[in-house]
């Protein structure tokens, strides 16, 4: 799979990103603790104030990254289930490192063992486990520093 360059998301991308987000959440290793509908996810994409970047393959968004640069947080990083294993997640993670070269944190559901292995394989350090700040299910926090 040949990926185009990572680019800034546009308003026209939001429905495709929300659809990818939902599909990826449903297929998450260990099951998703909570799955929102596409409309709710699209509303979050519009309201959170994230910097959102996407990867496209064959005119289809296959991955996205949502960060809060000021807080140095990767809030969302998802790759479409059909595109996983092609290196897109690693590319998006490297993009986060470029955007926040002083380091960042992120979280993933405690049930997402594949995600945890991915982050650890790419040099992130497990920081702690605790309840999600809004939803209450357990999440694992990771940190990256140069």
pTM above 0.85, yes or no: yes
The pLDDT of residue 16 is above 90: yes
* pLDDT for res 3: 53
- Provide the pairing of β-strand 138-144 with 104-109: antiparallel
pLDDT digits (tens, 9 = 90+) for 21-55: 999 988 887 766 677 899 999 999 999 999 999 99
């Amino acid at each position: 799979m040949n990926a185009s360059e990572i680019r800034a998301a546009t308003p026209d991308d939001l429905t495709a990103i929300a659809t990818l987000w939902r599909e990826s959440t449903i297929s998450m290793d260990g099951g998703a603790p909570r799955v929102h509908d596409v409309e709710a996810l699209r509303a979050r994409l519009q309201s959170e104030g994230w910097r959102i970047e996407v990867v496209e393959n064959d005119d289809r968004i296959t991955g996205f990254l949502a960060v809060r640069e000021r807080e140095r947080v990767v809030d969302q990083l998802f790759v479409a289930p059909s595109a996983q294993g092609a290196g897109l997640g690693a590319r998006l993670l490297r993009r986060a490192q470029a955007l926040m070269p002083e380091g960042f944190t992120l979280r993933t559901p405690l049930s997402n063992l594949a995600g945890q292995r991915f982050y650890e394989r790419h040099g992130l350090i497990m920081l702690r486990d605790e309840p999600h700040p809004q939803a209450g299910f357990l999440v694992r926090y990771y940190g990256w520093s140069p």
